[in-house]
Amino acid sequence: MNPPISMSQNIKSKSHHQLIDDESDLTAKGRISEIELDNELCKKQQALSLAYTEIYFPHKPYDVQLKYMESVVQTLDRKHNALLESPTGTGKTLSLLCASLGWLTKHRKEQQKTNNPTKLRIIYASRTHAQLKQVAQELKKTVYKPNVSVLGSRDQYCLRGDFYNIKGNLLNQNCRKVVKANQCQYFKKDVVMFMALQYKTLINSLEEAKQFGYKNKICPYYFERQRLDEADIILLPYNYLLEKDFQDYVNIDNSILIFDEAHNVQSTAEEGSSFFITQNIIIEAEKDLEKWIDELETVPIFYEQLKVKLNQAKLYNELKEYRSIVITIRTFSQYLEQLKQQPIFTLQDTNEKYQILDARQIQSLIFQYTSDEDNTFRLWNDSVLTNYAKGITRNNIARYLSHCMILIDVMSELSQFPANHFESWTKFIMNVYDLIRVEDEREKQKQSLSSLQNQFNQYKLSFMIDVANQITIYMWCLEPSLAFQRILSKNIHSVLLTSGTLSPMQSWTCELRMNFQTQFQSPHIINIQQSLIVFQHKQFDFSYQQRNNDEQFNRLGQNLLNFSYVIPNGILVIFSSYSLMFKFRSKLTSSKLLFRLNEIKHCLWEPQQTGEMQNVFELYKQHSKKGAIMFAVQRGKVAEGIDFSDELCRAVFLVGVPYPPKQDHKVSQKMEYLEKIYNDPEFNDQDRLRSQEWYCQQAIRATNQALGRVIRHVNDYGIVFLCDKRFEYTDIKKGFSEWVKTALKPWVNDDEVLKQTKAFYNRTDNNFQTPSQKIMTEEKSSQQSEVKKRNLKLFGLKCQKQLEKLKSDSQYDIEEQEKPQYLQIESKQVCETEEKQQFEQSEINFTPSQGKNKIKIQIQSNKAQVDDQIVNSALNQQKLNQILNNDNNTDQFNYFTSQKDFFSSIKQPQQQSESQRKGIIKIKQKK
């Protein structure tokens, strides 16, 4: 027997990001009204007619934006679903907002004429609140003033300082308690309702909503909930939309669902249907329940209120029911403790130990190991239907959950003790019960329970013991279409998925098992030949089997050092995994290359802890103008979540192909599941995906996301270095975004690529200069019109033989003014420095004046130029090298006419010996 529907939904309404509470007064019932427009702004913006729909756009749109918006309008006209791929920098978010809101404005006007009572609205979902912040900013640029609601959890919105360190269910319980008792300074129901009515069209990001709350002494969580029912557009992270319980809080009927930055939708959909519980939660759940039972025994009024609720649900109201529930939790916890000692775990010599089972086995495990088989607690006298000490069964699980949910409903508001762990236990059992109900329905219809259409078989049960010897039970969902089946069971107008990296398109139909009648791929907005080069290395191989190739790591490090001299501003170096990044860092440190890199550009590393990333990013921004390198990993914040525009990213190095790790148990189970689907005759009429195709597509989408870091808008430019020959594999290369394919060039000779790189930045820096920068460049050009650049590589010479080689190789005449003993002295000076190896191998670039025997040397700290004479000063080679490779340098030079002035300027000891002062190398242009 199933519990009443209201009961089965009750526990869901208490989830960690609960969207609707009793305190939210949703009485408007979705009144239909026209979308407001800013009439003054309408006069300043471009009015477009696309597919008979009037669209206002903030500026004259590019051709790719017009085609994108037209695709959106036509999709909505036809009630189709769409895949819309448009590269980063093409203004897809603004285009999507203008097109969809323009279409909705027209639709509302038509509804007014026909008296159609159905209110259609937009649910706009992006990956994170950080990305929704950009959506909010773009929405503010438009003429459209829809009613807005921005959904978030209490974790994100709560303003109370005393709740700062509590999260999840515990925060929800504390919040509800103080609100019910009218003890929260930020919640007054009449104020929330009034403010929500006054500010229906207010557009806030998460941070702005909190500032609005502080300023007006109003809870942003309840403020946004109050605005929800009137909203024409709802902004939220798409993990909310894809979670199992979302539709219990928000009515998505008659909605246009937009998934922006949708490249991660499949994995998020799987996570939204997955669930887990830890042994520690189960242990604490038992303690939570015991505290509540003690309170019910000592506070009669609490028990009276509980009995009222139980009587209404026609459930037994004695406390022994709850004591028997304690037994079910305790016995299951004991089973998990015993399971840890089984050979399946003890024989594994790994940090994390796994046991993988068919998901349907979770039923028998719960039914068997929640029973007090020996009647230890003397609770077997009553019927098994009303006493759970005999264990949870298929016959009593619905009543078991009803008892739990009613207790949570009553005691979370009355008790002084939070019981978030007991709530988590109840939610876990509820999720298992949902799968049991689906299976029961199939059995009634005499459908196969072993079929892959049975939801239980679209999961995998996993037990995992971590390094702390804690065991966790995972129910991994392997089928992303489950979330979309729940969505499409409602009356959805259209589903639009958009991103810069949806390719390959055909996989979306296979994975989500839905039709996308519109499939649009936009070209890039930039001039590819002018703004982008993608170099493909022909030899690097950073596959797992090649991770111990020291020579390869050293070569990559030396290349990065050389390129850092000529690439301006910021560089991103993105690895396929943390392990590869850590290995490279270790090699870079031991070879002293990391020290040399830090002298040129400030080096920073993406932290594994998400909370630390903002501080690292702020530090990177501070250094990027002068030069910085961020080392990061694929699928992280740097590779996907943060906007690195202009000088924040002038180049991207991709090291290793980001295939998912096959040794990961979830990855291997996913691939096994896909092969079963592909070979199952039951799915012959559907598009299917081979496991190897899926495996490659994960690498392709992550790569395309990382590639998009280098171009963020129409005037941006940069170079991508693909540092792995496997990027040329057919399965990978064909999945590159089209704009990347047109920019590909081979990387065979390091020197040639370095030359092309330098030429690219010389050209692009001039092409993309601002007016003020161009004036400075013209002034510099006029001052240095006589200068013609030449490079002379002058190493820390240690003997006559090296000098002779330099003479023969150089395009300049090189003469010794005195005997070469000075070179030996200079070598000694090098040896006395802490960075001996660095200075012995470093290079200096010199710039001779055309027609004159003059050499310009710039020293960053003192700005010096020396005529005729070069001092082989190891102390200053690094600075000289760094500065003279920067073609954009506009600093003026100071001139020194004597050796004494020069020595002083570079901070050489003033008491130099006469032999040292005469030990100068003269350089003249060869005739």
Same domain, 242 and 355: no
Q: Give yes or no: residues 613 and 509 share one domain.
A: no
645 pLDDT tier (thresholds 50, 70, 90): confident
595 and 678 in a single domain? The answer is yes
**Is residue 290 included in any domain, yes or no?**
yes
Structure tokens given for 740? 């990347």
Name the band, by pLDDT with cuts 50, 70 and 90, for residue 196: very high
Residue % of the chain over a pLDDT of 90: 52
Higher per-residue confidence, 815 vs 587: 587
Same domain, 307 and 320: yes
In this model, does residue 625 exceed pLDDT 80? yes
Q: For residues 532 and 653, state if they share a domain.
A: yes
Number of domains in the chain: 4
Indicate the pLDDT class of residue 139, thresholds 50, 70 and 90.
very high
Q: Tokens 């740097």 correspond to what residue? A: 638
pLDDT band at 30 (very low <50, low <70, confident <90, very high): low
Which pLDDT does position 375 carry in this prediction? 64
Q: Contact, 871 vs 920, CB < 8 A?
A: yes
Cα–chain center distance at 663 = 23
Residue 901 scores a pLDDT above 90: no
pLDDT category, 361, cuts 50, 70, 90?
A: very high
Are 210 and 232 in a shared domain? yes
Is the pLDDT assigned to residue 208 strictly greater than 50? yes
Give the pLDDT confidence score for residue 646 in this predicted structure.
Answer: 81
Locus of tokens 């291997």? 668
Q: Which residue has the higher pLDDT, 32 or 776?
A: 32
The widest CA-to-CA distance across the chain, in whole angstroms, is 112
Looking at the structure, tell me whether residues 46 and 83 fall in a common domain.
yes
Q: What is the pTM of this model?
A: 0.78
140: domain CATH number is 3.40.50.300
Residue 734 lies in a domain: yes
- Asked whether residue 884 is domain-assigned, the answer is yes
Q: Do 163 and 177 contact (CB within 8 A), yes or no?
A: no
Question: Which of 63-72, 177-186, 606-615 tops mean pLDDT?
Answer: 63-72
Q: How large is the average pLDDT for residues 487-494?
A: 92
My answer on whether 227 and 286 are in the same domain is no
pLDDT of res. 249? 78
**Percent of the chain surpassing pLDDT 70:** 78
- The reply to whether 197 falls in a domain is yes
Look at residue 52 and give its three-state secondary structure: coil
**pLDDT of residue 24 exceeding 80:** no
Q: What is the distance of C-alpha 453 from the center of its chain?
A: 32
Task: Please indicate, yes or no, whether residues 37 and 139 belong to a single structural domain of this protein.
Answer: yes
Indicate the DSSP class of residue 640. Answer: I
Q: How far apart are CA 622 and CA 630, in angstroms?
A: 12
Last residue within a domain, chosen from 767, 791, 817: 767
pLDDT at 596 over 70: yes
901's CB contacts (< 8 A; 6+ apart) are none
User: How many Å apart are CA 398 and CA 406, to the nearest integer?
Assistant: 12
Residue range(s) defining the domain that contains residue 813: 800-925
Look at residue 427 in the predicted model and tell me its pLDDT. Answer: 95
Are the C-beta atoms of residues 521 and 739 closer than 8 Å to each other? Answer: no
Q: Can you tell me the mean pLDDT for 735-752? A: 91
**In-domain check, residue 462:** yes
- 8 A C-beta contact, residue 627 and residue 600: yes
Token duo for residue 728: 């040329």
Write out pLDDT tens, residues 381-415: 555 555 788 889 999 999 999 999 999 999 988 88
Q: Which residue has the higher pLDDT, 802 or 104?
A: 104
* Residue 638 belongs to a domain: yes
pLDDT score for 516: 95
- CB distance 473 to 463 below 8 Å: yes
Q: Do 492 and 277 contact (CB within 8 A), yes or no?
A: no
Whether the pLDDT of residue 377 is over 80: the answer is: no
Considering the chain, what is the average pLDDT of its residues?
Answer: 80
pLDDT band for 1, please (50, 70, 90 cuts): very low
Average pLDDT, integer, range 738-761: 92
Q: In angstroms, rounded to a whole number, what is the distance separating the alpha carbons of residues 752 and 60?
A: 41
Is 280 found in the same domain as 268?
no
Classify residue 137 as exposed, middle or buried by CB count within 10 Å of its CB (0-12, 13-18, 19+).
middle
Q: State how far the Cα of 647 lies from the Cα of 921, in Å rounded to an integer.
A: 39
546 and 591 assigned to the same domain: yes
In this structure, are 401 and 505 located in the same domain?
A: no
Within 686-767, where are the H helices? Answer: 691-707, 730-733, 738-741, 750-767
Query: Considering 713, 743, 767, which residue would you say is the last residue of a domain?
Result: 767
pLDDT at position 807 is 54
187 touches 158 (CB < 8 A) = no
Average pLDDT over residues 767-772: 52
How far apart CA 310 and CA 812 sit, in angstroms, is 98
* 400, part of any domain: yes
Q: What does the pLDDT look like over 699-738, one tens digit per residue?
A: 999 998 888 888 888 888 999 999 999 999 998 998 888 8
The beta-carbon contacts of 833-841 under 8 Å, at least 24 apart in sequence, are 833/874, 833/875, 835/592, 835/595, 835/878, 837/592, 838/592, 838/595, 838/596, 838/878, 839/796, 839/874, 839/875, 839/877, 839/878, 840/795, 840/796, 840/798, 840/874, 841/795, 841/796
Residue 777 lies in a domain: no
Q: Which of 596, 579, 585 is nearest to 553 (CA)?
A: 585
Q: Has residue 98 got a pLDDT over 90? A: yes
- 805-834 burial by CB neighbour count: b if 16+ within 10 A, else e? ebeeeeebebeeeeebebbeebbebbeeee
